Chains A and B, each alone.
Chain A
Amino acid sequence: MTSITGDGDSSEGSVPPWLWFWVVLYVISLPAQIRFYEPAILDLFFHKDWLVLVNVPELLPFLALFIGVLLIPFPWLRAFYLERQFQLAEPDRNSSALTEMETFLQQHAPGIHIKTNMLRTDQLAFVYPLGYRKTGIALFGSLFRLWRSDKQTAEAILLHEVAHCRHGDALIIGVGSFFEAVVRNFIVLYLLFCFLPLSWSFASQSIDALQSGIPFANKLQQIFTSILPGSFLQLLGLLGGLASVFVLPIIAIWGAEFNADRFAINQQKSSFDLLHALNKISLPRSIFSWIIFRLTHPPTKMRKWAAEPRFGKFLIVLLLFPVAYFAKLLALIARALSEYLLICSDFAEIFVQLADNIRTYFATIAPIWCAMAVFFLLWPFMCMYWEQYFGGSRGTQSFDTYATYLMSALIVGLSALLWIQMA
């Protein structure tokens, strides 16, 4: 990976705060979502049949997100949890590295509060909310070591964290706090709440059937032709549902990460130190841990790729969040297909239904894309005041990259208008 030194052709500019945009949309759509999940929730609490437990894996992604958003107005809860979890304490004031880091941080994010855990090395640094406009930063032993051995790289990491603070990410980035718990345990939850109750129900029906003289072979055949394919489709549908609920906030979080990397590059006028810092990130040991890491950060290779300040790359990073709506559509198609196949075997009918649903989806997201287009056009004017509100100091306003925002607005806006026409 080559590093770019100097201003590059589009080194300025920041990614709009898509996570804030998404939170606003989520809150607006909450009544509709509650109406959608209400029957499943009511069944779970008031229905006497224990087979309603199959609703649990479907409800969990919604609940994880709902609780994450619900906790945003209580930033001190996240602070309490993280400070306890990572054993963060007031820093040792005798450390000269701390004094230097504190001076550096105060220049870029005045008022940021430092806490440390000098013994932990799996983390370098992270920001967390201490209040609505007060941010804390946790610094770890590994960062202190890096500060002494490779100061520029350590500065790139601190600048990345500063960007989260100035971009207002610290307050809301915790919305994804429960994603990992759901994803980690999803298959177990599926087996426990879906597969096991259904298997139990089938087994008890089979015993009744055998007692009434139905041959065992018929029941055995049913396992392979109906129960197992049905369970697979059900799992596929649930995974589609999970992905459709999580994909937008995850990509919005990725947007915040790309923006933070970009801020570090802009401040250092080079991507060299950030690329060096990215090399310090550990590689996931399995596909599953790769997936878990992706819940909070984009792939490191992608971050390195985006670190090169080129017009096309910045455009792609800007459009990542709008494109996530297509990923959500794919997840919804997987979910819908699994449900259709469970109840209907006429493929022509299924495809007609799917096409109809896809049209409805585009008609529904068209106003959101229009709003995104407007946001693209306004963001270069807003970002300075946005950063001042959250970061305490005003950054410089630059319109060098306005063409990229304009292009993004055109792509997103024209697509939205096209969908409105089609509807």
Chain B
Amino acid sequence: MSVVDEWTKKIAEAAVPEEIDLAPSIAHAFFSGGKERKQLFQREKKNVQGAFGIAEIALILPLILQALVYSATTLSTFISSTELNSFLTALNTTFSFRELAKRKQKVAALPDDPFLPLKNVLLIISGELHSMGLPEEESDLITFRILMKLLEDSAGASQFIQKIAKET
């Protein structure tokens, strides 16, 4: 299994477990680029006889991969930091709050030194997800789960982010 396949699956497991079965196909299509990647973001609605009906269900995993591509530089800075343990503690503390406003306050209250890479990466990934149509609350929680997964295996995550950086 390639790095991108492995990490797409890990991220799906952590952030959108209901899309775990789709992870290999989504990873393949996304990292193949071109038409195949385009298909992931198409909103074409076709009528078919014998179908249940035209669905209103969107996949989140392609949006996550897209958000990671957009924030690849910030992610590289984040994952290569020497303060990963502090980041992990800060994330756990922040996301122990249920309310989005409180979490935002908590993040804003973190000092820039050494937390600036964490603050930036939280802001950029959740901002990208929100701009692609996900609710703010959901974007924030997904970002938290992605970062926690990346921090579990920072060496592997670093390789994955390098691959992602090539997509920018």
Contacts and interface: CB of A to CB of B under 8 A. Distances in A.
Nearest to A98: B21
B82 interface: no
B51 A148 contact: no
A247 to B, nearest CB: 16
A147 B22 CA distance: 12
Interface in A269-307: 277-278, 280-283, 292-293, 295-297, 300
Interface of A: 82, 85-87, 92, 94-98, 118-128, 140-142, 144-149, 157, 160-161, 164, 169-170, 173-174, 176-177, 180, 253, 277-278, 280-283, 292-293, 295-297, 300
B133 interface: no
Given A97-B21, A148-B20, A148-B21, A280 B49 contact: no
Nearest to A127: B50
Interface string B41-60: 00111111111111111110
Given A119-B29, A296-B47, A277 B52 contact: yes
Contacts of A92: 21, 24-25
Contacts of A142: 55, 57, 59
Contacts of A293: 47, 54
B26 A122 contact: no
B60 to A, nearest CB: 9
Contacts of A174: 49-50
Contacts of A125: 51-52
A122 B53 contact: no
Contacts of B40: 119
Interface of B: 17-22, 24-26, 29, 36, 39-40, 43-59
Q: Which 9 A-B pairs have the closest CB atoms?
A: A126-B51, A148-B18, A118-B25, A282-B56, A142-B57, A281-B53, A149-B18, A95-B21, A173-B49
B50 A169 contact: yes
A161 to B, nearest CB: 7
B106 to A, nearest CB: 29
23 contacts: A85-B46, A92-B24, A118-B21, A118-B26, A119-B22, A119-B25, A119-B59, A120-B39, A123-B48, A124-B51, A148-B18, A149-B18, A160-B52, A169-B50, A173-B49, A277-B52, A278-B53, A281-B56, A282-B56, A293-B47, A296-B47, A296-B49, A297-B53
A97 B12 CA distance: 15
A112 to B, nearest CB: 13
Contacts of A87: 39
A281 B45 CA distance: 11
Contacts of A157: 52
B49 A122 contact: no
A123 B46 contact: yes
Nearest to A157: B52
Contacts of B54: 122-123, 281-282, 293
A92 B44 CA distance: 24
A297 B46 CA distance: 13
Contacts of B51: 123-126, 296-297
Given A124-B57, A253-B49, 4 more contacts: A119-B40, A145-B22, A148-B17, A160-B52
Contacts of B24: 92, 94
Contacts of B48: 82, 86, 123, 126, 296
Contacts of B59: 119, 121, 141-142, 145
Contacts of A123: 46, 48, 51, 54-55
Contacts of A95: 21
A280 B56 contact: yes
Nearest to A156: B52
Contact of B19 (A148, A160, A164, A280): A148
Nearest to B53: A281
A65 B105 CA distance: 64
A173 B50 CA distance: 6
Contacts of A160: 52
A370 B102 CA distance: 72
A331 to B, nearest CB: 21
Contacts of B25: 92, 118-119, 141
A96 B21 contact: yes
A144 B39 CA distance: 17
A70 to B, nearest CB: 16
B19 A145 contact: yes
A124 B55 contact: yes
Nearest to B17: A148
A281 B26 contact: no
Contacts of A169: 50
Given A92-B25, A145-B18, A148-B17, A124 B50 contact: no
Contacts of A148: 17-21
Q: Which of B44, B48, B58 has the most CB of A within 10 A?
A: B48
Contacts of B21: 92, 95-98, 118, 144, 147-148
Contacts of B29: 119
A176 to B, nearest CB: 5
Given A119-B25, A148-B19, A282-B45, A126 B56 contact: no
Nearest to A297: B53
A176 B50 CA distance: 10
A122 B36 CA distance: 16
A335 B81 CA distance: 76
